[in-house]
A and B are shown apart, each in its own frame.
Chain A
Amino acid sequence: MVKEYHPVIEEYILDYVDEKLTATERDAFEEVLVSDDDLRNLAFSAKDGKKLVSLLRVLRRVELGK
Chain B
Amino acid sequence: MTAFKHTAISKYSDEDLMEFVQMGKESAFTELVIRYNDRLHNFLYRYTQNHQDCEDLVQETFLRVHKSKHSYERIAKFSTWMYTIAINLAKSLYKKKKRMQLVSIHKDESNPDAFEMILEDQAILQDEVLHQKLSLVQLEEALASMQDEFRSVVILRDVEQLSYEEISEKLDVPMGTVKSRINRGRAQISKKISQYVDLGTSF
Tell me whether B158 and A10 are in contact (CB under 8 A): no
Q: Which of A23-61 contact B (CB under 8 A)?
A: 41-43, 45-57, 59-60
Q: Is the interface of A mostly helix, strand, loop or mixed?
A: helix
User: Which range contains the number of A residues in contact with the other chain?
Assistant: 20 to 34
A interface with B by C-beta (< 8 Å): 2, 4-5, 7, 10-11, 13-14, 17, 41-43, 45-57, 59-60, 62-63
B interface with A by C-beta (< 8 Å): 132, 135-136, 139-140, 142-143, 154-155, 158-159, 176, 179-180, 182-191, 193-194, 197, 199, 202-203
Q: Please, how many angstroms separate the alpha-carbon atoms of A42 and B188 in the complex?
A: 9
| Minimum Cβ distance to chain A for residue B191 (Å) | 6
Q: Assuming the A-B contacts A48-B190, A52-B190, are A11 and B158 also in contact, with contact meaning beta carbons closer than 8 angstroms in the complex?
A: no
Tell me whether A50 and B179 are in contact (CB under 8 A): no
Q: Please, how many angstroms separate the alpha-carbon atoms of A62 and B67 in the complex?
A: 35
